[in-house]
Structure 1
């Protein structure tokens, strides 16, 4: 066998084996930009969560979707409160400035036609089935759609476009198989040897909408940033806002963060604190398994 032929054969085997490994393993994350863009254009866009078709810009969404409008106003209230608190502590914040000072999110980004939330990832969280099972719920984990704030506009004849560290996580529960199990659900995340992880395969398989039920919308957003020139000991500093919203048509509800006890309230209520300690002791097995969820009354 010639050296050139051997090299070609080795390359062919390596490529084939890599393809085989990808095909045989279950898909846990979809992060291919082309696939995500196609999903975004085929009914998995951020606006679809609020029942808005057509343009996905945030001005349209803010004007036409009451639920999104309410979420933006809630975030604006949180940001204003944080800004006032930091100003009272001697740390004023600014939306637009070139100086070496603290910056705060400009809320206009959430209601402009120059911005939208783009789909940047899809996560298979079949492992969350254990959390549901611990609570006696018959769900087969979750599917999570991650959306990130992006903008694009023209200024002085140039297109300015980028993304901001402002993310929403749309969580859907996965329905079980007809027999109540999750074998079929798990199998749909594993492509066959002759299948590729493309838009058609995803929509016709693990992302088939009939098997997904919307649960909640989670926010994880950087709303404050202090530059390294100001925070020299930390190389910069940032503050993030985290919230969970339930959406039912035009109605929006606020949910507590998972496994995040209200420390201030527990410190003031000895009976509630003792009740939490008793509850944890009674559920030590679930804690050891890593699938423990603290009841809402303690959050």
Structure 2
């Protein structure tokens, strides 16, 4: 009798644990360093966005990928303009300094063989399906690959390595199921009881390249930093540069930021400006 009760208890416990495992739901973010390193080495590296094989350092990318070269020059123009604006306001900025002064990104980091962009996260954005429907795209959201600027070099016999707060976000649209729905897509992000979220499961499932199409490359980078000794009321202050780039082979286009008014267009179009004002007035409660 005791053995029978024990068997029933084991069966019940197994059923209960299985239910808990199923309740964990889909994978929303991949941030395990070992898995990310494996993905980086299996065709999901930053250089692959620009169809550059082999070495992934930024000097190679700058020299061999016209699209990356153009993106770097665009960023350099933004940084130069920001630097001039801040200098005109009495704030000089320096790339290399030990003083208690403002610092600005050294653009040489983006074209040196001592640096590369490393994969630091993969994010499941199935929820972005709503935005695709608004645009009439009919996809199943997005998958986002986040790359962060990292460097490593030797100096005086020592290896100096770290990361910088300079990130690119590669956005891929996800193709729908054969019937146009997203049930299958969502299911591929949910591991079964005998499955592990490893490199094989990812590239054979939710990250299968046949179901992904490149959409755009987003930049979110800290380009200016004022130390706390200079900005005592804020404990330091930083300025970030945000941009969105479309890439088609060697051609780069600039896209508008989402949820950001196009001030130049609104200034030139009184009717559009009035339409925006009317919409905000009619939806104040929802906006707030």
TM-score under structure 1 normalisation? Answer: 0.86
Indicate the larger mover: 273-282 or 144-153: 273-282
Q: How does 1:136-151 map to 2 (within 5 A)?
A: 136-151=136-151
In 1, Cα distance between equivalents of 2:219 and 2:39: 21
Instruction: Answer whether contact 2:22 2:192 (CA < 8 A) is retained.
Output: no
Are residues 281 and 196 of structure 1, via their aligned partners in 2, closer, same or farther at CA, if it must alter by over 3 Å?
farther
2:178 alignment partner in structure 1: 178
> SS of the residue aligned with 1:230?
coil
Judged with a 3 Å threshold, the aligned counterparts in structure 2 of structure 1 residues 221 and 118 are, in CA distance, closer, same or farther, namely same
Query: Within 2, Cα distance between the matches of 1:259 and 1:278?
Result: 17
Deviation at 1:22, TM superposition (A): 7.8
**50 and 18 in structure 1: CA distance in 2 versus 1, 3 angstrom threshold:** farther
Change (3 A) 1:189 1:18: same
Tell me the CA shift for residue 271 of structure 1: 2.1
Bigger mean CA deviation after superposition, 16-25 or 187-196: 16-25
Cα pair 1:219 1:241 within 8 Å, conserved: yes
Which residue does 1:128 correspond to in 2? 128
Q: Distance in 2 between matches of 1:126 and 1:143?
A: 8
Whether the 8 Å CA contact 2:18–2:193 is kept in 1: the answer is no
Q: Deviations over 1:16-73 (max 9, x none)?
A: 9599538842000000000000000000000000000011000000000000000000
Q: Does the residue aligned with 1:90 lie in a helix, a strand or coil? A: coil
Measured in 2, the distance between the counterparts of 1:287 and 1:139 equals 27
Shift of 1:277: 3.7
Instruction: Name structure 1 gaps, 5 residues minimum.
Output: 1-12, 289-299
SS in 2 for 1:194: coil
Instruction: Tell me how far 1:193 sits from its aligned partner.
Output: 0.2
2:224 alignment counterpart? 224
Q: For the residues of structure 2 that align with 1:138 and 1:33, how far apart are their CA atoms?
A: 33
> TM-score of the superposition, structure 2-length normalised?
0.89
**For the Cα contact (< 8 Å) 1:24–1:191, is it kept in 2?**
no
Aligned length: 273
C-alpha distance in structure 1 between counterparts of 2:234 and 2:281, whole Å: 38
Q: What is the DSSP-based 3-state SS (H/G/I as helix, E as strand, rest coil) of the residue aligned with 1:272? A: helix
Structure 2 residue runs without a partner (length 5+): 1-12
Distance 1:114 1:18 in 2: 48
CA contact (8 A) 1:119 1:145 kept: yes
